[in-house]
Every structure is written in C-alpha cells, then in structure tokens.
Amino acid sequence: MNEETLKRLADLKARQDAGEHMPCPRCGKNTMKPDVYTNALSRQADVMICECGMEEAMLAFINCPLPLAGWACFHTENHNR
Ligand SMILES: [Zn+2]
C-alpha cells in the first residue's frame, strides 16, 4: 500500500468518523447505512463499507481479494483529475 493510498484511506476514515454520509468506498454504490458504524468494517482497510463486506469476506476466503486499487473511491478520484 503506497503513501497516497494511505492518505486517502485516512481521509475517508476521518470523514466517516465525522459522520459524513458517503457512497461505499469499496463498491461506490449509495448503499451505506445512515449510521456509519452499522456498516461493515473492511478487512483490507480501517474504513467502513456497505454489504459488499460480505463479498470482500468471500473473496478473502477464496484467497482472491479485490485489491484496494480496485475500490471505487480510488477510481472516481482518478477520473476527476
Ligand atoms: Zn460496498
């Protein structure tokens, strides 16, 4: 995980800690529950994600996790540049 990724994750976490409602950082869908801490904690990063946490767990189980670089939050921000 590079420094840029860590910075973005820290930023996401800070915004979630502040109670900001945002699309799921992992899948990018607007499926996060309003109370951020009732969502799932990602296994790959210290941020909350939606029900796709189930999918993340399955992929980890078959030893084929989606890399953080594949997370929607990183894609969207790249598009905006
Ligand atoms: Zn999700």
User: Cα of 64 to ligand 1 centre, how many Å?
Assistant: 17
Q: In this structure, what are the phi and psi dihedrals at residue 49, rounded to the nearest 5 degrees?
A: -130, 170
pLDDT at 78 over 90: no
Q: How confident is the model at residue 80 (pLDDT cuts 50, 70, 90)?
A: very low
pLDDT 10s digits, 7-48: 999 999 999 999 999 999 999 999 999 999 899 999 999 999
Residue 1 confidence class, pLDDT cut points 50, 70, 90: confident
Task: Evaluate whether residue 31 is within a structural domain.
Answer: yes
Q: Which domain holds residue 50?
A: 3-76
Report CA(54)–ligand 1 centroid distance (Å). 9
What spacing in Å lies between the alpha carbon of 14 and ligand 1's midpoint? 18
Dihedral sign from CA coordinates of 73, 78, 79, 80: positive
- Ligand 1 centroid to Cα of residue 2, in Å, is 22
Q: How many domains does the chain have?
A: 1
Question: Is 72 among the domain residues?
Answer: yes
Whether residue 56 is contained in a domain is answered as: yes
Cα–ligand 1 centroid distance for 73 (angstroms): 10
Is 71 within a domain?
A: yes
CA angle (17 as vertex; 53, 43 as ends), nearest 5: 25
Report the pLDDT value the prediction gives residue 75, as an integer from 0 to 100. Answer: 83
- Is 81 part of a structural domain of the chain? no
51: left (phi over 0), alpha (psi -120 to 50) or beta: alpha
